[in-house]
Amino acid sequence: MPTGIYSFRSFLAEYQSDRSKPLSIELNVNAGDFYSGKLTALGGGLTLRPNANLSLETKYFRNNINLPIPGGKYATNLAITRLVYSFTPRLFAKMFVQYNDDDDSFNTNFLLNWIHRPGSNFYLVYNDQEDIAGAKWRGKNRTLLAKFNYLLGW
């Protein structure tokens, strides 16, 4: 895109059902200016909460972009899944998985959180970013970390 000052005007409509229910949905549409072209974005999601301990969420987003430059007409897709399980009010795990076809990447994040007392936590985190161009999975970035914080009572 050429250097310059751009203004964006867009229309956004969203609907979200009651997230406290066992099944909820989310829908959104966004259309408007995008640099010197246009953007139309559609998205939606479904969340299942079969019980107080488990939540499963899936989302999908599609962006249709039309710019007045060579190769400026394209679409991107993003798919997301999030799983949360609470073993107890003080111990829970989260798994986040994302596929992005714009950069052919598959990203995973896992978090285990133990709250051993209010304000004091232990976290175990694993991140994995895979490049899946050409159906060949190649690890781009992998991280495993542990963090412990303890709130001192003065």
- Bridging pattern class, strands 23-34 and 73-88: unpaired
Contact (CB, 8 A) for 106 and 132: yes
- Residue 133 DSSP one-character state: G
| pTM beyond 0.85, yes or no | no
Residue 34: is it exposed, middle or buried by C-beta count within 10 angstroms (0-12/13-18/19+)? buried
- Tokens representing 92 are 């829970």
Identify the pLDDT of residue 137.
63
Helix (H) or strand (E) holding 12: strand 10-16
Q: Kindly give the confidence (pLDDT) of every residue in the chain, 154 residues in length, as a single tens digit, with 9 standing for 90 and above.
A: 778 888 889 999 999 999 999 999 999 999 999 998 999 999 999 999 999 999 999 999 999 999 988 888 999 999 999 999 999 999 999 999 999 998 888 899 999 999 998 889 999 999 999 887 766 666 678 999 999 999 887 6
The dotted CATH code for 89-154 is: 3.10.450
Identify the pLDDT of residue 153.
75
| Three-class SS state of 41 | strand
